[in-house]
């Protein structure tokens, strides 16, 4: 999997595909279930790398569901018109960028939902992008 250029860089999460009843999710090592695009490809049980850019994560109520996974805020850094939030998300440190100011503090529990059209799915073994 290539390290993409950009700042902040893309979040990469080790996961496996779980296909049931015609739908699929990515299950991270900590058990978090992340939505997969319908055209993501891959087989049930396949080890993948789930990639999502920080600006493609949206803030939702902490309750899991509706395509969201729980996260814990580690650092909040205002960067002018946006805020950069470093979180513990799906067993990894992940960054999110929000255009709206949210009153977040370290230790807060939030939910993060990826924008599905912006999710990148890679085969863990080969690094090849799946789907699309």
Q: What is the pLDDT of residues 8-43, one digit of tens each?
A: 899 999 999 999 877 899 999 999 999 999 888 899
Task: Encode pLDDT of 40-81 as tens digits.
Answer: 889 999 999 999 999 999 998 766 566 788 999 999 999 888
> Residue 100's pLDDT is what?
86
pTM (predicted TM-score): 0.88
Q: What angle do CA 28, 23, 17 make, to 5 degrees?
A: 30
The pLDDT score that the predictor gives to residue 2 is 53
**Separation between Cα atoms, residue 108 and residue 123, nearest integer Å:** 33
- pLDDT per position as a tens digit, 77-114: 998 889 999 999 988 999 999 998 889 999 999 999 99
| Domain boundary assignment for the chain | 11-123
- Bridge partners for 45 per DSSP: none
Residue 60's contacts (CB-CB under 8 Å, 6 or more residues apart) are 66, 68, 110, 111, 112, 113
Q: Which CATH architecture has domain 11-123?
A: Beta Barrel (2.40)
CB atoms inside a 10 Å sphere around CB 77 = 11
- CA dist 110 and 69 (Å) reads 8
The confidence score (pLDDT) of residue 67 equals 79
């Amino acid at each position: 999997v290539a390290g993409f250029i950009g700042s902040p860089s893309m979040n990469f999460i080790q996961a496996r595909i779980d296909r049931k009843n015609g739908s699929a999710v990515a299950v991270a090592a900590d058990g978090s279930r992340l939505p997969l695009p319908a055209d993501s490809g891959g087989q049930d049980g396949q080890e993948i790398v789930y990639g999502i850019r920080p600006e493609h994560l949206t803030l939702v109520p902490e309750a899991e569901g509706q395509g969201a996974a729980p996260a814990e805020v580690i650092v909040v850094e205002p960067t002018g018109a946006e805020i950069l939030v470093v979180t513990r998300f799906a067993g990894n440190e992940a960054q999110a960028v929000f255009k709206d100011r949210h009153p977040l503090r370290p230790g807060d529990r939030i939910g993060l939902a990826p924008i599905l059209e912006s999710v990148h799915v890679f085969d863990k073994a080969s690094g090849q992008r799946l789907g699309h």
